[in-house]
């Protein structure tokens, strides 16, 4: 980490867990800059060896180019001029995590902020790697009742198309974070924040969180919905529209009306252990076991739903598909080297 920057902040959490709200609350602090999540960690994290065959940085420039492309092709792109050559000049070593540090510091410099915060999807998969490369990093693990997460995913036709797989996704993400919380090497760097506590008592929750990251709480953080950048962000997707409004303390427990008893039982049976560890009350009396036939049926239903919604004619869906196409090209290595 460069000496002129404060400890960076990493937001950990599964999709639809309130991470966009948390980013809004943090990025409106006078000392914090937080670029829109571009998805480059999720896309490239598991492909690092491809750019460094035999441990040598033969394709370092290609990796930088791919990171820059992903920051520009997202439907909420980084609103700075991120030059690949400048990024390369600022690197202290050749790694994805060094590029991650440099591009975020460039963003923070552009906004004249001494601290940067990242909400890149998938960060929870690399907590140990990030901690090793950025030893001063602080991690904020935001968890939301997985049943509400699943209801939001299914209602929005986002990522998972059956409650069984939404439950698997949520449970797996929580296991990664809970494992890190149990690891003495990184546990003191992680702050566990429940979404339900954040929306119930936002000021208390943010004051405690800001103490953890080492900055003073600012009243304007709770007025994120008046921030020009946040308002612009809220207009770019139906999933972000709530950022244009104050925190809604009633936005919890909606799964009871939206999932139905059968789906609630499926979710809880899949994510039973993780729900218990995170002290979410379980509604079902017993944990259900699933047959191979049931799982195959759930997979078929999910595939049919996904195929149907892949034809969504709305403009946002077209932008998402274009973004996915670019990401897949990069992940497959189809882009020219």
Separation CA 271–CA 288 (nearest Å): 11
Could you tell me if residue 58 is inside a domain? yes
Give how many domains the chain has, as a whole number.
1
Could you tell me if residue 171 is inside a domain? no
Helices (H), 217-291: 228-234, 255-258, 261-270, 272-277
Instruction: Give the mean model confidence (pLDDT) for residues 269-283.
Output: 98
Contact in structure between 212 and 160 (CB atoms under 8 Å): no
Q: Which residue has the higher pLDDT, 156 or 103?
A: 103
Could you tell me if residue 183 is inside a domain? yes
Range(s) of the domain holding residue 107:
9-145+176-248+316-332
Could you tell me if residue 278 is inside a domain? no
Could you tell me if residue 160 is inside a domain? no
32 SS3 class:
strand
Please give the model's pTM, rounded to 2 decimal places.
0.92
Tokens encoding 51: 């750019």
pLDDT tens, position by position, 14-45: 989 999 999 999 999 999 999 999 999 999 99
Could you tell me if residue 167 is inside a domain? no
pLDDT tens, position by position, 288-309: 999 999 999 999 999 999 898 8
- The pLDDT value recorded for residue 233 is 85
**CATH assignment of the domain containing 223:** 3.40.50
In the predicted structure, residue 191 carries a pLDDT above the cut 60: yes
């Amino acid at each position: 980490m460069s000496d002129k920057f404060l400890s960076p902040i990493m937001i950990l959490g599964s999709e639809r867990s309130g991470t966009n709200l948390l980013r809004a609350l943090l990025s409106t602090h006078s000392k914090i800059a937080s670029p829109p999540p571009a998805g480059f960690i999720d896309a490239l994290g598991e492909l690092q060896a491809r750019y460094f065959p035999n441990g040598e940085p033969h394709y370092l420039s290609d990796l930088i180019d791919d990171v820059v492309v992903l920051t520009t092709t997202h439907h909420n792109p980084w609103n700075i001029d991120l030059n690949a050559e400048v990024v390369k000049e600022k690197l202290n070593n050749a790694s994805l995590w060094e590029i991650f540090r440099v591009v975020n510091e460039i963003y923070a410099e552009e906004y004249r902020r001494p601290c940067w915060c990242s909400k890149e999807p998938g960060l929870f998969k690399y907590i140990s790697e990030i901690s090793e490369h950025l030893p001063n990093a602080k991690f904020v693990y935001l968890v939301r009742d997985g049943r509400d997460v699943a209801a939001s995913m299914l209602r929005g036709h986002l990522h998972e198309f059956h409650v069984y797989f939404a439950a698997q996704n949520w449970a797996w993400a929580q296991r990664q974070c809970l494992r890190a919380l149990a690891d003495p090497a990184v546990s003191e760097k992680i702050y566990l924040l429940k979404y339900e506590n954040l929306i119930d008592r936002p000021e208390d929750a943010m004051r405690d969180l800001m103490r953890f990251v080492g900055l003073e709480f600012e009243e304007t953080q709770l007025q994120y919905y008046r921030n020009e950048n946040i308002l612009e962000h809220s207009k770019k997707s139906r999933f972000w529209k709530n950022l244009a409004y104050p925190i809604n303390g009633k936005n919890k427990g909606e799964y009871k009306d939206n999932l139905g008893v059968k789906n609630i039982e499926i979710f809880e049976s899949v994510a039973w252990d993780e729900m218990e560890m995170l002290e979410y009350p379980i509604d079902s009396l017993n944990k259900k076991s699933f047959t191979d036939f049931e799982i195959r049926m759930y997979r078929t239903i999910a595939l049919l739903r996904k195929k149907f919604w892949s034809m969504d004619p709305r403009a946002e869906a077209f932008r998402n598909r274009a973004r996915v196409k670019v990401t897949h090209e990069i992940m497959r290595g189809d882009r020219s080297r």
